[in-house]
Amino acid sequence: MAEEKKSRLYKLKPLSDRLPAVKKPEGHVHFRTKMLWVILILVLYFVMTNVFLYGLDQSQTVDLFAQYRAILAGASGSLMQLGIGPIVTASIIMQLFVGAQIIKLDLTNKEDKAVYQSVQKLLVIVMILVEAVPQVFGYLVPSTSFVGGLNNTFGADGLFSGENVARIIIILQLVIGSYIVFLMDEVVSKWGIGSGISLFIAAGVAQALVTGTINWEGSNPAEAISTSNPPAGTIPKTFYFIQNLSASQMVSGGYETILFQPPNPVVALIGTIAIFAFVAWIESVRIELPLAHGTARGARGRYPIKLIYASNIPVILMAALLANVQMITLLLYQNGWLKGIPLIGGNWMLGYYTAGSTSPEAGLAWYVSSPQGLYQWLLPLFNPGSYGYLAYDHGSFQILMHVLVFFGIMVIGSILFAKFWIMTTNMGPEAVAKQIESSGLQIPGFRRDPRVLKRVLERYIPVVTVISGFVVGALAAGADLIGTVGSASGTGVLLAVGIMIQLYEAIGREQMMEMHPVLRGFFGGE
């Protein structure tokens, strides 16, 4: 590639290459070693979710991403406060810029691909600061004892007052914790199996589902269990009401509480099980192209093009995008400095929030936010007199528009991200054709030529990519509308099921490559 044709991002590579990174293994990593790394990283993830930020006042912490907590694989007030948010946001920006040709990089070229990954690492650092600083200077409050101790050292006033130093220390902890998450993702991707981001999402969602189903503590742990403070888990809650309410009380309100009202109603548990079953089925739907070896007669195989060809990545990217929309609109509406910006600052049409709440109640942010279950939209739609408050007293037309706008945004956004993802991960027709050709395979009845393979694959991959984005977007939106247990969100459950199935298949491929090393080249192994 001529020097003048190279992207300007090459100038950033020397800087980004100096950042700490995980070295790629030089040879083949044995299956047992890969599984060991996956388990160790998973244990470290759970440890980090329980390591709370030093100097933070947990009682005054406001979780900006509460609605998307399971999807972003984080834990409020811990080193995992930001979760995978900065990593995914950086990926969104890079994909959009490459897809729109703002960044001139050919991702089928090894040098350009290396620059892309290197600069994305630098962008992750930027996004960590972009997400950490507004939270610390608005919603993550240092404890008075921590600030008081620093005041004795730095003074109570000035730029480097005890309070400002306390906030800087918390920001540094968030930066270190988030970058460790990024390195953990690299360890899994290079030394383990699958993706670290996917692994963290599945772990967080699984924890939320188990807790939401069997948690026997009260909805408010500080109070005794009663009919007004029942057990939080679906199963204990159901048994508690059946045992402690009479038949007339169950008819007058008990069944309604068990079936529909939070926390963790029975409908949400049924919806969760239905999502599990449907996603497990749809993950198995695929088109299989017959393949034959060009020189070894009788050696045949199939190349599967799954209906969920772009996997669940488009939904992860959409969830992160909507989480950032919510964070930005909240800051613009409530932050003392940002709400003074002309036109957009303090503008309720972008997003209206009441004091102390992180959920939008009106404006653009409300229309693109996810309704968390039937009780937030279906009950207010059919009985606004009794349940209108659950939809912030919006009219039936507004509630219906909220559902349609959210569903449409998820579907359209997932289709676009599916296209970008296929392009940036060498899963397009041309890259797959080269991969099949290099492994010595060909489609029976067609000449062994990457251009011929490309034309055949172009009949399937672009169409399946669009269908894949549509299906995962519609499934995620539909699952959110039905609701799930444990505040995992429908999107989170969809992701967790798909991730676990893909991890199972990846483990199967790794075992097969371990037994048959000749298959490593076809599957992209070393």
pLDDT in tens, 208-262: 899 899 998 888 887 888 888 889 999 999 999 999 888 888 888 888 888 888 8
Q: How far apart are the first and last CA of the chain?
A: 26
The single residue listed with the structure tokens 């188990």 is 210
Position 154 pLDDT exceeds 50: yes
Number of alpha carbons in the 13 Å side-chain half-sphere of residue 440: 11
pLDDT attached to residue 517: 57
Say how far apart CA 84 and CA 99 lie, in whole Å.
22
* Residue 352, φ and ψ in degrees, nearest 5: -110, 130
Tally of CB atoms within 10 A around 489? 25
Quickly state the pLDDT bin for 1 (edges 50, 70, 90): very low
User: Measured on CA atoms in the order 135, 138, 141, 146, is the torsion positive or negative?
Assistant: positive
Q: Does 263 sit behind a cis peptide bond, omega within 30 degrees of 0 on the bond before it?
A: yes
pLDDT in tens, 422-448: 887 778 888 888 877 777 777 777 777
**Of 123-132, 298-307, 480-489, which range is least confident?**
298-307
Tokens, residue 65: 């991403």
pLDDT attached to residue 18: 85
Position 398 pLDDT exceeds 50: yes
pLDDT attached to residue 520: 53
pLDDT attached to residue 3: 45
Say how far apart CA 323 and CA 25 lie, in whole Å.
35
% residues pLDDT > 70 (the chain): 94
Q: Which residues does residue 288 pair with via DSSP β-bridges, in sequence order?
A: 304
Say how far apart CA 263 and CA 70 lie, in whole Å.
16
pLDDT attached to residue 4: 47
Say how far apart CA 502 and CA 181 lie, in whole Å.
21
Tokens, residue 213: 């189903």
Say how far apart CA 193 and CA 215 lie, in whole Å.
32
Position 394 pLDDT exceeds 50: yes
Higher pLDDT, 376 or 522: 376
* Residue 523, φ and ψ in degrees, nearest 5: -85, 5
pLDDT attached to residue 137: 82
Quickly state the pLDDT bin for 298 (edges 50, 70, 90): low
Q: Please, what is the average pLDDT of the chain?
A: 85
Quickly state the pLDDT bin for 2 (edges 50, 70, 90): very low
pTM confidence score? 0.77
User: How confident is the model over 113-133, as a mean pLDDT?
Assistant: 89
pLDDT in tens, 26-56: 877 888 899 999 999 999 999 999 999 999 9
Q: Is 306 left (phi over 0), alpha (psi -120 to 50) or beta?
A: beta
Which of 344, 345, 349 is CA-nearest to residue 365?
Answer: 349
* Residue 441 near residue 371 (C-beta atoms within 8 A): no
User: How confident is the model over 52-68, as a mean pLDDT?
Assistant: 84
Tokens, residue 159: 């730029």
Say how far apart CA 444 and CA 290 lie, in whole Å.
7
pLDDT attached to residue 521: 52
User: How confident is the model over 389-402, as a mean pLDDT?
Assistant: 91
Position 186 pLDDT exceeds 70: yes
Most confident of 96-110, 170-184, 249-263, 325-339: 170-184
DSSP-based three-state secondary structure for 447: coil
Position 107 pLDDT exceeds 80: no
Q: What is the dihedral of CA 169, 333, 479, 491, to 10 degrees?
A: -30
pLDDT in tens, 453-489: 888 889 889 999 999 999 999 988 988 888 888 878 8
Q: Is 445 left (phi over 0), alpha (psi -120 to 50) or beta?
A: left
Quickly state the pLDDT bin for 277 (edges 50, 70, 90): confident
List the beta strands (DSSP E) in 236-372: 286-293, 300-306
